Structure 1
Amino acid sequence: MGTFVLVHGGGHGGWCYQPVARLLQAQGHLVYTPSLPGMAEHVHQLNADIDLEMHIDDVVNLLFYEDLHDVVLVGHSYGGMVITGVADRVPERVGHRIYLDAAYPSNGESLHEHAYENIEPQRQNIYTENGVELVMRPDPAFAGFFGITEPDLAKWTNERLSPQPWKCFSQKLFFKNEDAMRAIPESHLICSSTIPGRDMDLLRTRAQGRVWDIDTGHDLMLTEPEWVAETLMKVARKQPTN
């Protein structure tokens, strides 16, 4: 059985992986769904020091203190920045990187630079609360922004979305062990609507063809949890997913 660490994206928390985690656990897999510092149930701990590096360190610490090895590390959206940093910091603990409609940064790149068209509108709406610069102020329209159209699921999601410290999006990610990180196998599960903004040839080359897409909203772990869970398991078993 595999060990999965599922890292959420901006504005989310570990809660967004509930459906996928339950499906993986039902098959006997060990699953961790951490909420990053300042997010979800940790929102009361928001402070001006929270940034991308703190989020990376948080997952690195999880791998160390739980003594996890050969981890299938999954990142959604902004979580792609985090898992890339984690795999760069502790490549010896990561067995596979899976990018779930996620950011795929180059060395020295911030999420703001990497996904400018999506992040710049958030930057233009920065607000300050208790000394922390925040973006993604909770809004009833956000579930729709993430591609969730089913009313009950949209309501459930909107009730749980939380603001994101701007530093997480503006801080650049600098690699320390890029060769070791790149040597870790990677796979990409992509929403069809985001393909035009991606270098698909690069992804297919680096992932040795392990790139699959599905026509659904950006929050595919909520809109298509069965497909996501099954694909994650097949990737972890090193089986073809087609």
Structure 2
Amino acid sequence: MANYVLVAGARLGAWAWDEVAPHLRAAGHGAHPLTLSGLAEKQGVPAGQQTHVQDIVDEVERHDLHDVVLVGHSYSGIPVGQAAERIGDRLARVVFVDSNVPAEGESFVSAWPEGRATVEASIAGNGGFWPVVAAAHYEGEGLTEEQITRIVDGSTPHPGATLTEPAVLARPLGELPSTYIQCLLDDAAVDDDVAELLTSEHWRLVKMRTGHWPMFSQPRELARILLAEAGE
């Protein structure tokens, strides 16, 4: 039995996995959607980058999980990639869902050379939080109007420090058993750092013909891929 720890991207909480987790459980596995500090029902909890890493490690240790498949979507690939190194032999695999990946000493905004100043200014102008975005942000991503409304209504401002503080890696990320899920409607090609990691014998690429939020647009297909990555 695998144990999936599911971590959604910026502004989202455990609720984002409501249509994915039941498929994993129906196949006989554990599913543990996780809300990171400062988001959704944990609004008001102070959070930096390492807080989010520790949230994930604590979830694994609190439930004494083994054969763990850590799943990180979008922003959350950064703390998930760091946590994967810290749970030792409990880890079975990491799955990065159209996500950022951590790099030693680099932050989420480091990967935005042309937009970094805009993100940092937005955080500074919103009390230290990255604000939620309007429905138009989600158009062209394979989502229905109802799905977009659900995302917008459920989103909460994201703690800015988690986006600007650097990642800390104990060993090369390419050594971890990993799968990268590329959502083809989001971009035509993976980022250079992901492309380099995919040259590792420990990494593999899976493509989905949908947008950046597959847990909403194609939850059954995403669950099928997650099950396959755990050897189901």
TM-score (norm. length: structure 2): 0.89
1:71 equivalent to 2:68? Answer yes
How big is each residue's C-alpha offset from its partner over 1:100-122, in whole Å with a ceiling of 9 and x where there is no partner? 00111221111100244565533
1:162 is aligned to 156
Q: Please provide the CA RMSD for this pair.
A: 2.2
Aligned pairs (5 A) from 1:91-170: 91-117=88-114, 120-127=117-124, 132-144=127-139, 147=141, 149-170=143-164
How many residues align? The count is 230
How big is the shift at 1:157? 1.2
Asked if the contact 1:71–1:94 (Cα under 8 Å) also holds between the matched residues in 2, the reply is yes
Q: Which amino acid aligns with 1:27?
A: A
Quickly say closer, same or farther: Cα 1:116–1:74, change in 2 above 3 A: farther
1:233 matched residue in structure 2: 227
Question: Per the alignment, do residues 187 and 153 of structure 1 end up closer, same or farther by CA in structure 2, a change over 3 Å counting?
Answer: same
Residues 135-159 of structure 1 deviation map (CA, whole Å, 9 limit, x = unaligned): 13353434438x3531111111111
Residues 201 and 9 of structure 1: is their aligned pair in 2 closer, same or farther, counting only changes over 3 Å? closer
- How many angstroms apart in 1 are the aligned matches of 2:19 and 2:116? 27
3-state SS of 1:211 partner: strand
CA contact 1:81–1:105 (8 Å) conserved in 2: yes
Task: Indicate the residue corresponding to 1:4 in structure 2.
Answer: 4
Contact 1:91 1:184 in 2 (8 A): no
| 2:183 corresponding residue in structure 1 | 191
SS of 2:169's partner is coil
Paired residue secondary structure (1:31): strand
Inter-partner Cα distance in structure 2 for 1:207 and 1:55 = 28
Equivalent residue number for residue 13 of structure 2: 13
**One-letter amino acid of the structure 2 residue matched with residue 196 of structure 1:** A
TM-score norm. by structure 1 comes to 0.86
Is the CA contact (8 Å cut-off) linking 1:97 and 1:184 kept in structure 2? yes
- SS of structure 2 residue aligned to 1:212: strand
SS in 1 for 2:19: helix
* Structure 2 CA distance for partners of 1:5 and 1:117, relative to 1, 3 Å: farther
Contact 2:15 2:33 in 1 (8 A): yes
Q: Secondary structure at the match of 1:205?
A: coil
Q: Does residue 89 in structure 1 map to residue 92 in structure 2?
A: no
* Bigger share in helix: 1
Question: Percent identity over the alignment?
Answer: 26
Aligned in 2, Cα 1:224/1:61: closer, same or farther, shift over 3 Å?
same
Aligned-partner Cα distance in 1 for 2:222–2:122 = 32
Which amino acid in 2 is paired with 1:110?
A: S
Gap runs ≥5 in structure 1: none
